[in-house]
Structure 1
Amino acid sequence: MSAPVDTVTTPPAPPGRALDVAAERDRTPGSFTGHHFNAAGAALLAAGTVEAVIDHLRAESLSGGYEAAKLAVPALDAVYARTAQLLGARPEEVALVESATAGWQRAVSALRLRPGDRVLAARSSYVSSALHLLSAERDHGVRVEVLPNGPDGAVDLEALEAALRAGPAALVTAAHVPTSSGLVEPVAGIGALARAHGVPFLLDATQSLGQLPVDMGAIGCDLLIGTGRKFLRAPRGTGLLAVRRPLLDRLVPEAPDVRGAHWIAERSWELVPDAKRFELWEAAHALRLGLGAALADLSALGVDTVARHLATVAGALRERLAALPGVRVTDPPAAGGAIVTFVVDGMDAADVQRELARRQVHLIAVPASHGRWDMDPRGLAKVVRASVHVYNDGADVHALVEAVREIARPRGGTASRGIAPAEARGTVPATPQVHASSALATHTAPAPRSVHPGARLRDVIVVGLGVHGGAALHRLAARGLDVLGLEQYALGHDLGSSHGATRMIRRAYPHPDWDGLVDLAHQAWAELEQASKTQLVDVTGGLYAAPEDRPDPMRGPGCRQVGAEEAARIFPGLRLPAGFDAVHDPRAGIIDAQETLRVQLALAESSGATIRDGSPVTGWEPDGDVVVVRTADAVLRTRRLLLCTGPWTATQVPSLAPHLTPTRIVNAYFAADPAGPLGRSGLGSFSVDLPQGLLYGFPATDGRGLKAGLDSGPAWDPDAPRPPATGSELALLAEAVAQVLPGAGPVTESLTCLYTMTSDRRFVVGEVPGVPQVLVASACSGHGFKFGPVLGEALADLVCGTARPDLDFLSPARLFPGGVR
């Protein structure tokens, strides 16, 4: 029987400040999307780092790149100061570069190695560094000598000293921590020997910055390279190069840039006096500010505090993996820090990686081609690499160990879908909780009092599987969350707001608040079509007409105003009343609604979502940090509850009832020749704001005739019987159709649905006021279907803690200016 999460045995942490793992998880949205063990590749970004990048990009969009960079000078200068503080260097000794490899190449090139120069390289050297040295050996006659390792797997310091005594050397280089194991090189010993012999020491700190203390003075290195994307938790595309004086003053870059040199005369130039001589003028300032934010976070936590936590978590992981049958930990004796490598007997490491990813445990397989000097002598073709960070807790360790156990020793039955190991966070009823500041805290609230504590804890439950619930279910499952979708009726039922064959997509809206969401919606439909390999949108163009004196005229990105005469040329089948004009949207079209519902749920299931129809939710209640959800036959637990319940939204959230009015809507098909003016050759999607209401519709394209409807109707109880369209309802609709579509024939069929109207005709999307772990999405007022896929992505963002200020104008909070009553 596997060990429960909270009983993981770890060595006692050394004295010092404890790390609040729960707080780190809370500010790391990605920690909610699975079990992430790839900090040595690219760590999860903190929300503040993301915001720093986005804020500068917004500034560039508003004022221009040059102007935004000028305003950001103090913040950019602070990045150099923070980097220097981290490294025990001076700000003028620091260059910001695009990657560790870019820093390596510029530094080594500036050494101007000559034929016969000896470079003493540790076996820990990374592939890009080794390839650069081997290229210099082949092309320029440099002599690369690979240093032997001692019995502990680290550089043999005696062999290094012998090599230094054997003759002059131009460079000593080592990786503090290699890419291929948890080895920690004795860098201070290497630095002391290099300094004693007057040889520059280049330290590759790519895998150590952010997980181990790195002080250039204490280590004795003259040059250092690093990257932002690994343990520093900065964006990709950021790196650093530090060169200590007096070596800095002697290094001349082979290809100086206007950033690092001044062109002072026709044939002469001079280098800037500091390490910026290695920089390029063109830089991603937003990413550099993200690096600065990440460095500030690390400084606030304290490198020593982080190092203790990572060593404790990785040590526990290494110990538990080593105890699994069929698993071999491949780290050498000199291993420590945050990286653990292993192999599973009889399996390729890449296959192990894929199997773990299926279980929502994310790490990486490292091939020997990324570290030949290290892996070949150890007979390793490929290893699985797990690397922990501040957001990893006991549940993560348990998830990885149990997933590897399952892979290494397959048993009967099938593995559960979704984030199976994440369920362990709520399945240990008898074990006391670990304090949140513990190195292996589980980041979970005590089990709700109202349900059995062994009940499965889902990441998200989505209630209502119409277009918006289905879209959210798909996007949440695609992010690796353990998500359950509940539908009260049969899938595809006709009692709500998402049924029927077609819906409209357009960019024309009366207010610019919608413009950004409209553009994202078009992108999201294209992505959904690509993912499903199904055409869902038929572009017909659209005309949207209203009286010329309407106070809030339609407009929108890519749309233009046209008069009645031009409108008649665009859509000969549509006749506008006197005094009307229109907005033409050439990208408007028709959505295949039925197919959309089908493919969203199919994609959700294929991504691991669980779907249950015929499961009405009878109630829900917050309980600590989780939500208890009650159905007719089960009591469920979830970290987040997402209510996409259409006309039943007021039932699920009674505080919204005064603001939501379910409304009965009638649509009908009218006889029309698809080859005539009411077919797609003479008509596209349209709406006309008439006294009877807003008439909308589509050309005769599917053999059923012209489709039209009015967006006005009586308030309706969604649980009341809904009879077919009455004669008076159809007569009103036919009157409106005859007014602007003179070629339409009689009604051939009709259908009814429910709109949920708000007073401002805007959606209600966001947190339920007063209950942050519950979200509501009522894309109501008759124009929400077109936003299905993009709202699904937005809801996934909100569930995962990513701010969406573009949705603020739809927030439920706007309905309660004086607070919830």
Structure 2
Amino acid sequence: MSAPVTTGTTASHPSHPSHPSHPSHPSHPEPPPPNPPPRTLDVAAERARTPGAATGHHFNAAGAALLADGTVEAVIGHLRAESLSGGYEAAKHAAPALEAVYARIAGLLGARPEEVALVESATAGWQRAVSALRLRPGDRVLAARSSYVSSALHLLSAERDHGVRVELLPNGPDGAVDLEALETALRSGPAALVTAAHVPTSSGLVEPAAGIGALAGAHGVPFLLDATQSLGQLPVDMGAIGCDLLIGTGRKFLRAPRGTGLLAVRRPLLDRLTPEAPDVRGALWTAERNWELVPDAKRFELWEAAHALRLGLGAALADLGALGVDTVARHLASLAASLRERLAELPGVRVTDPPAAGSAIVTFVVDGLDATDVQHELSRRRIHLIAVPAGHGRWDMDPRGLTKVVRASVHVYNNGADLDALVESVREIARAPGAPAPAPAPAAASASAPRTARRDSRCRDAIVVGLGVHGSAALRRLAVRGLDVLGLEQYALGHDLGSSHGATRMIRRAYPHPDWDALVDTAYRAWEELEDAAKTRLVDITGGLYAAPAGRPDPLRGPGCRPVDAEEAARIFPGLRLPAGFAAVHDPRAGIIDARETLRAQLALAERSGAAIADRTPVLGWEPDGDEVVVRTREGVLRTRRLVLCAGPWTAAQVPSLAPHLAVSRIVNAYFAADPAGPLGPSGLGSFSVDLPQGLLYGFPAADGRGLKAGLDSGPDWDPHAPRPPATPAELALLAEAVAQVLPGAGPVTESLTCLYTTTADRRFVVGEVPGVPQVLVASACSGHGFKFGPAIGEALADLVCGTVRPDLDFLSPARLFPGGGAQ
């Protein structure tokens, strides 16, 4: 590397480094940014991928924001990998993803990846950066009153123990740093550091960071910006701001796990800073009494790190990048401005944000009540925020006469209902200070309560019952067409009691009969359309091998598929060993579906297109009424022109005439310990199935940090209304026996799950009109291979609702089960 290095014996004092040029002293306040593109945030989609959004009204993003599902999966996936292969091996496998975190941070900050260090917290970054400045007795530090408690304590300690002079910058009438006073302080003599918090912990203030940076740069003084509360909610570009050092944390508006932080140091200052305690991560021990620092910001890092948490940070940064910082900033600013305005209108409530407030943080006090008591009263109503004492921001709060404030901070998962709940609860608390708290709001009004169906006098165009993969697909396609459509789910969205849960599913073109070919082609096109609409990858093409005893009368075949013998199969998938006498079909377009993300995407897109959703709303019965259908729930009676039943294993309960033709069984799946870098990982395996005496064994490679996934396509008959206990030792032993036959090297079971199959005698789906009731459609598209057709079945059901004839579905018609005709 060509960058210069600094040795442990030649450190120089960097108090007055050469500084890149900055724009001249700007006016105060800063000019507004250019108009952003007209893009809005899909709050429903963000709530759908944020499980915590359903557990209450969360207003603590400035403390620790709610994590998205993908972030949690990134952390857990790496921990599983560490448990299976060891920490060092897992880190080696994850090295590209870990390195990508630096690039994502750099892109967020307008910096270069080599100027970024990953640390455990913003405070850790602050302490390492300031210590590396090697401040000497008499050095002046100009600090904004917005400085956080940990930063202030470090400076005060340096003042007391090392003779550093800490000068507090006065605020202007708007509550932000007075830029004229800063310029006067810089002109009065040399300074070693200027520091400010972009957004303080104690209010919604936004400091004029670019103005501070311009002045510091003009005087050649390093500027350290604490972006802990601004990263993730405001655009933060180090070059535009003119800051040389920046610290931040992951747990706040970036929505990353706790225990993650960052430190960015721009060149040329980076090359002048020498950490006080170099670590093997950041230095090379070159001789018995000498060492060299690495040439980039990793000199500030430690060897020991929580790689799983850093991968979670990377996932959160990727989410932010996909949403766009400007889009997030507009949404949060709008929410916070509305909340400030509404709280300020409440009698007995005082908003304590200064005039320069503009961030996602809103602070207030209630007359006659301690802020902690207000926090507790709100918590009783499942409204989560915190009280900030003056001890967390004394330089800011003491001059304003504040001992404690209530702090609410909004994020992308907050909506109007959250604001309504907070404002109305504060109104109640302020109306009767000291009075006993009223009872919590009824369940139906709370954020974690089900979205329920109410008695509705209008007749909807369609109601979809069951929101697994096929029901959610139908709901989405009907909503896209502009229909007034309602989706009903008897359990919570994403539940694990049916057939659509779990992480992965298989997609393939290999089928035993040409009847399937057209629908398979439609399915592949439908997945591409769904990925494009959802702006996310849902299908990973891995290729697939599907094996059975040679000479079977109904071998798999399909467009682009070809038969292979055991020897060629071993070359294609080295991790799979076929028994003697077996042959296989190779499908190069087979792959793995992200099942969990598919459900989230389809429901989010449905809501975005206008669909209504009510979960925890069982359908008690339905009956035709002329050209319409009456649907009964516990909450009321609904009417619809078309009823679409996608009830999975509960289909027979909704359509009793189908009961003799539908068999429900319990299926066990399990994860087996396997090295993702070995033959059972993606390099040696794809999606597969082998028809063994124990049953059809199917599975996927160890690609998600959880190990090899496998299941047997056979199991006992099961009542879908009965409890479903975990897999038994006998079931897991049978599955492990099958895995050992064809997947040498698989370790023990690490976790297991169960699901329900609904099958017909011919293993074909049931899709079409309920015999005798043309205004009711049914889709029982399971039979162990239905998930892959989800988006295509949804489109087909939407066609049928709208009166479009689909002769390509005749081979799946319910009428085939009733040769003499039948009725519901």
Same fold (TM over 0.5): yes
Does residue 779 in structure 1 map to residue 732 in structure 2? no
Other structure's SS at 2:264 match:
strand
User: Where does 1:549-588 land on structure 2 (aligned, <5 Å)?
Assistant: none
Structure 2 residue 211 is the aligned partner of structure 1 residue 186: no
Q: For the Cα contact (< 8 Å) 1:211–1:231, is it kept in 2? A: yes
Match of 1:817 in 2: 784
Who is 1:371 aligned against? Answer: 393
Paired amino acid for 1:158: E
Distance apart, 1:32 and its partner CA: 1.6
Q: TM-score, normalised by structure 2?
A: 0.55
| CA contact 1:764–1:810 (8 Å) conserved in 2 | no
- Name the CA shift for 1:349/1:148 in 2 (closer, same or farther; >3 Å): same
Conserved? CA contact 1:235–1:291, under 8 Å:
yes
Q: What does 1:473-492 align with in structure 2 at a 5 Å threshold?
A: none
Partner of 1:144: 166
Within the candidate set 223, 227, 239, 1:201 is matched to 223
Equivalent residue, structure 1, for 2:407:
385
1:590-605 equivalences under 5 Å are none
Worse overlay, 202-211 or 350-359: 350-359
CA distance in structure 1 between the partners assigned to 2:488 and 2:369 by the alignment: 31
**Residue in structure 2 matched with residue 345 of structure 1 by the alignment:** 367
2:633 is matched with 630
Task: Give per-residue Cα distances to partners, 1:759-810, cap 9 Å, x unaligned.
Answer: 9359778xxxxxxxxxx662269989xxxxxxxxxxxxxxxxxxxx956433
Unaligned 5+ residue runs, structure 1? 1-12, 431-444, 447-456, 463-467, 469-614, 622-626, 638-646, 663-757, 766-775, 785-804
Per-residue deviation at 1:161? 1.2
Question: 1:83-162 alignment to 2 at 5 Å?
Answer: 83-162=105-184
CA distance in 1, matches of 2:444, 2:126: 40
Q: CA deviation at 1:299?
A: 1.1
Unaligned residue ranges in structure 2 (runs of 5+): 1-34, 458-474, 477-486, 498-616, 624-629, 640-648, 667-712, 730-749, 760-781, 787-811, 815-824
Q: Does residue 358 in structure 1 map to residue 380 in structure 2?
A: yes
Determine if contact 2:665/2:715 at 8 Å carries over to the other structure. no
Specify the code of the residue in structure 2 equivalent to 1:236: R
Give the letter aligned to residue 113 of structure 2.
P
RMSD: 4.0
Number of the residue aligned with 2:284: 262
Within 1, Cα distance between the matches of 2:82 and 2:419? 41
- The more displaced of 78-87 and 16-25 is 16-25
Aligned residues: 500
**Whole-angstrom distance in 2 between the partners of 1:763 and 1:127:** 59
Listed one character per residue, the Cα deviations across residues 174-211 of structure 1 (whole Å, up to 9, x for unaligned) are: 00000000000000111111111111100000000010
Looking at structure 1, the residues matched to 653 and 719 of structure 2 have their Cα atoms a distance apart, in angstroms, of 15
The verdict on how the C-alpha distance between 1:330 and 1:257 changes in structure 2, with shifts beyond 3 A counting, is same
- Aligned residue for 1:214? 236
Equivalent residue number for residue 441 of structure 2:
416
Is 2:371–2:387's contact at 8 Å kept on the other side of the alignment? yes
How far residue 167 of structure 1 moved from its aligned partner, in angstroms, is 1.4
1:346–1:88 CA distance, 2 compared to 1 (3 A):
same
The aligned amino acid for 1:364 is I
Q: Does 2:715 align with 1:760?
A: yes
Alpha-carbon distance between aligned partners in 2 of 1:117 and 1:405, rounded to the nearest angstrom: 50
Distance 1:418 1:807, change over 3 A: farther
Q: Supply the AA of the counterpart residue of 2:754.
A: F
Read off the aligned partner of 1:279 and give its amino acid letter.
E
3-state secondary structure, aligned to 1:160: helix
Q: Which residues of 2 match residues 706-725 of structure 1 at below 5 A?
A: none
Q: 1:33 maps to what in 2?
A: 55
Distance (Å, rounded) in 2 between the aligned partners of 1:150 and 1:459: 56
Q: Is the 8 A contact 1:211 1:337 kept in 2?
A: yes
Q: Which residue of 2 aligns with 1:394?
A: 416
Cα deviation, residue 288, structure 1? 0.9
The one-letter amino acid paired with 1:760 is G
Aligned-pair CA distance for 1:119? 0.9
On the 8 A contact 1:172/1:194 being kept in 2, the answer is yes
Match of 1:642 in 2: none
User: What CA distance in whole angstroms lies between the structure 1 residues aligned with 2:335 and 2:123?
Assistant: 29
Query: Is contact 1:762-1:780 (8 Å) kept?
Result: no
Cα distance in 1 for partners of 2:442, 2:141 equals: 52
Secondary structure at the counterpart of residue 202 of structure 1: strand
Residue 228 (structure 1) aligned to one of 244, 250, 264: 250
- Mapped to 1, the partners of 2:144 and 2:665 lie a distance apart of 72
Question: Take 1:95 and 1:649, find their aligned partners in 2: how far apart are those partners?
Answer: 55
The separation in 2 between residues aligned to 1:61 and 1:14, in whole angstroms, is 45
- For residues 404 and 296 of structure 2, the distance between their equivalents in structure 1, rounded to whole angstroms, comes to 41
The corresponding residue for 1:328 is 350
| d(CA) in 1 for partners of 2:155, 2:398 | 18
Q: 1: distance between equivalents of 2:78 and 2:138?
A: 48
How far apart are residue 416 of structure 1 and its match?
3.0
1-side partners of 2:488 and 2:445: how far apart?
10
Q: 1:72 to 1:415 in 2, by over 3 A?
A: closer
Q: 1:186 to 1:259 in 2, by over 3 A?
A: same
Aligned CA distance change for structure 1 residues 778 and 202 (closer, same or farther; 3 Å): same
C-alpha spacing 1:277/1:780, structure 2 compared with 1 (3 Å)? closer
One-letter amino acid of the structure 2 residue matched with residue 416 of structure 1 = A
- Decide whether aligned partners of structure 1 residues 129 and 458 sit closer, same or farther in structure 2, where only a CA change above 3 A counts: farther
| C-alpha deviation, 1:143, in angstroms | 1.1
CA 1:277 to 1:325, structure 2 compared with 1: closer, same or farther past 3 Å?
Answer: same
Amino acid at match of 2:151: S
Taking the aligned partners of 2:441 and 2:265, their CA distance within structure 1 comes to: 52
Relative to 1, partners in 2 of residues 1:419 and 1:407: Cα closer, same or farther, differing over 3 Å? farther
CA contact 2:664–2:758 (8 Å) conserved in 1: no
2:268 matches 1:246: yes
Question: Alpha-carbon deviation of 1:148?
Answer: 1.1
CA distance in 2, matches of 1:281, 1:813: 52
- CA shift at 1:418, angstroms? 3.8
The one-letter code of the counterpart of 1:105 is: Q
Partner of 1:290: 312
1:280 maps to which of 289, 293, 302: 302
2:754 is paired with a residue whose SS is: helix
Query: Structure 1 residues 91, 778: closer, same or farther in 2, change over 3 A?
Result: same
Deviations 1:554-582 (A, max 9, x none): xxxxxxxxxxxxxxxxxxxxxxxxxxxxx
- Does 309-318 or 413-422 show the bigger shift? 413-422
Question: Which residue identity does 2:275 align to in structure 1?
Answer: P
| Distance across 1 between alignment mates of 2:142 and 2:341 | 34
Counterpart for residue 691 of structure 1? none
CA distance in 1, matches of 2:295, 2:358: 38
SS at 2:363's partner residue?
Answer: strand
The structure-2 alpha-carbon separation of the partners of 1:31 and 1:119, relative to structure 1 and needing over 3 Å to count, comes to same
Q: Is the 8 A contact 1:123 1:374 kept in 2?
A: yes
SS for the counterpart of 2:364 is: strand
Equivalents in 2 of 1:389, 1:30: separation in Å? 12
1:48 to partner: Cα distance: 1.2
Rounded to whole Å, the distance in 1 between the matches of 2:444 and 2:203 is 27
- The CA deviation at 1:352 is 1.2
Question: Can you list the C-alpha shifts for 1:589-630, whole angstroms capped at 9, x where unaligned?
Answer: xxxxxxxxxxxxxxxxxxxxxxxxxx9984489xxxxx9863
My pick for the range that moved more, 47-56 or 108-117, is 47-56
Matched, 1:58 2:25: no
CA 1:629 to 1:220, structure 2 compared with 1: closer, same or farther past 3 Å? farther
Alpha-carbon distance in structure 2 between the residues aligned to 1:816 and 1:342: 57
Counterparts of 1:781 and 1:105, CA distance in 2: 49
Question: Cα distance, 1:817 vs. partner?
Answer: 2.0
Deviation of 1:413 after TM superposition, in Å, equals: 7.0
Partner of 1:67: 89
- The answer to whether 1:165 aligns with 2:187 is yes
Cα distance change of structure 1 residues 616 and 169 upon mapping to structure 2, 3 Å threshold: closer
- Rounded to whole Å, the distance in 2 between the matches of 1:290 and 1:355 is 33
Partner of 1:793: none
CA distance in 1, matches of 2:726, 2:216: 73
